[in-house]
Chain A
Amino acid sequence: MGRQSAAVAAVVIEREGALTHPCNLARTLLAASLVLAFGSVAAQALPGEGRVALKYLDYVDSQPGKERVRVKATSVMAVVPVSQDWSFAATNTVDAISGASPAYHSAGLGKLTDLRSAQDFSVTRFLANGTVTGGVSLSTEADYVSRAVSLNTAQFSEDRNTTWSVGVAHASDDINPTNRIVRNERKQVTDALLGWTRVLTPHDLVQFNLGRSWGEGYFSDPYKVFDNRPRGRTSTTFQTRWNHHFEATTSTLRMGYRWFSDNWGVQAHTATVEWVQPLPGDWSVSPLVRFHNQRAADFYIDADLTGSPFPPNPPPEAVVFSEDHRLSSFGALTLGLKLAKKLDADWSVDIKVEHYAQRSGWYVGGTGSPGLEPFFARSVQFGLSRTF
């Protein structure tokens, strides 16, 4: 591979090593071939291959002796490069939700049924030393409509070993619960993200992201009793990810860590480790483990089983309060396994199974929130994709 084509390949690799796009060796070689054919050094980032993908999710969660929420979701995505400078991407997702959800803590299970339809559309402009991506999103449910816009930019260094990225997004949500507890409520959320991605060695890619979110409006859950949350929420995230390739075994270790903190008093640490092992016959297997440790929101009200079956009353002086177990102190462990197979040069299929368990007794750094049932979730994803 000549220097010029290698430089182009490096640009493609660097772009794909940034936050958003997939890449593979075939695309790299195609880019190199184009440079050899046309004899020009294309310092510009290049669109990747086109891709169409389908994913089906079967999800169910539960607590001991009781099944809770079940979701069957289908998502279709298309990525279409239209020229050397532009690429479009679109996603359509439909979630069918049913089952039961607790009214407070782990009790008072009430039936729910909903259908959610979500669409995302983005346009990417490829520049001399980076990319700019603009996106719009729409999510519609019977009681919740969310409209969002986003802008993400990535800038590459001269040697293509470093990528700086900036992303901003704003969502405007309309909330009209079917129980009419509130009417015509709204929520506005603005997110910003600064990212730095670096090629450390021929086998190591590392990324640091610093994020900030500002939200105002209606954050309460209208289907839960004693749930009145603050009308503002500001949060900060710090995330680092590191991918390391082992040449001897052709395997890859993917590690990630996120720290989260907000003005509700929630603090969380999330660590993920995944191992990707290629197998003969274009198969690959990827076990993963994730641990999430979360401290409760300041206004979370602990369960008090002595008053069962009635929920505990918030303190008389409390202005904000919630008995939603998702705001409690707990530790949660995910074990997953993904199996993928390349059928030929263009088609691939995959299946992924994950089991999730959330327990207050697993909280690290103090005592977990008392009186809550363990919470479990099982998800299975089936995927099919084609590149062109």
Chain B
Amino acid sequence: MQKLLLILRTAMCMVCITTLAACASPAAVQAWEKGNLARPEMTFDSDRLDTKFVEHTYFSKEAAFGGSTVGGGGCGCN
């Protein structure tokens, strides 16, 4: 389990580094190439109610919170 978690954490670091390197690329995506980006699954918040339920649940069970949005207020659940 510990080894698996170490592998997962290393993989995430590599994703971050690769993404940062890719961001430095000067190639611009043209408007007519963006068809796949219109898919709901390609957005970061395609199911808002699902996201609200999930974030509320984790907020009530863990000490960490936030990261992607602001707003929504608090609750007595934490």
Question: Chain A residues in contact with chain B, CB under 8 A?
Answer: 1, 3, 6-7, 9-10, 12-14, 16-17, 19-25, 27-28, 53-55, 57, 59, 61, 73, 75, 77, 91, 93, 114, 116, 118, 120, 135, 137-139, 141, 143-144, 146-150, 152, 159-161, 167-169, 171, 173, 175, 187, 189, 191-193, 197-207, 209, 211, 213, 235, 237-243, 245, 247, 252, 254-255, 257-258, 260, 264, 266, 268-271, 276, 284, 286, 291-294, 297, 326-327, 331-332, 338, 350, 352, 354, 356, 358, 362, 364, 375, 377, 379, 381, 383
Contact indicator B34/A10 (Cβ below 8 Å) = yes
Inter-subunit contact A240/B64 (CB<8 Å): no
Q: Would A55 and B49 count as touching, CB distance under 8 A?
A: yes
Partner of A243, one of B1, B30, B44: B44
A59 touches B57 (CB 8 A): yes
Q: Are A200 and B22 in contact (CB under 8 A)?
A: yes
Contact A167 B43 (CB under 8 A): no
Nearest Cβ in chain B — how far from A140, in angstroms? Answer: 10
Distance of A218 from chain B, by nearest CB (Å) = 11
Cβ < 8 Å to A, chain B residues 43-59 = 43-50, 52-54, 57-58
What are the 7 A-B residue pairs with the smallest beta carbon separation, nearest first? A150-B71, A144-B76, A148-B73, A10-B31, A268-B64, A260-B64, A239-B67
Which B residues are CB-close (under 8 A) to A198? 23
Contacts of B61 in A (CB 8 A): 61, 326, 332, 356, 358, 375, 377
A-B contact pairs, 29 of them (CB 8 A): A6-B32, A13-B37, A19-B69, A20-B45, A20-B69, A28-B35, A73-B53, A75-B52, A139-B75, A141-B75, A144-B76, A146-B74, A148-B74, A150-B71, A173-B74, A191-B66, A203-B36, A206-B19, A242-B19, A243-B44, A245-B42, A258-B68, A268-B63, A293-B5, A350-B47, A356-B61, A381-B50, A381-B53, A383-B49
Q: Which residues 1-50 of B sit at the A interface, judged by CB distance below 8 A?
A: 1-2, 5-6, 8-9, 12, 15-16, 19, 22-23, 25, 27-50
Is chain A's binding surface mostly helix, strand, loop or mixed? strand
Question: Interface residues, chain B, CB within 8 Å of chain A?
Answer: 1-2, 5-6, 8-9, 12, 15-16, 19, 22-23, 25, 27-50, 52-54, 57-58, 61-78
- Bound-state Cα–Cα, A160 to B29, Å: 9
CB-based contact B50/A24 at 8 Å: no
Residues of chain B within 8 A of A245, CB atoms compared = 36-37, 39, 41-42
For B48, the closest partner residue in chain A by CB is A77
Q: How far is the CB of A129 from chain B (nearest CB, A)?
A: 15
A17/B49 contact (C-beta < 8 A), A146-B73, A150-B70 known? no
**Other-chain contact of A252, B33, B42, B69 (Cβ < 8 Å):** B42
Q: Nearest-CB distance from B31 to chain A (Å)?
A: 4
Given contacts A141-B75, A173-B74, A331-B5, whether A24 and B66 have CB atoms under 8 Å apart is no
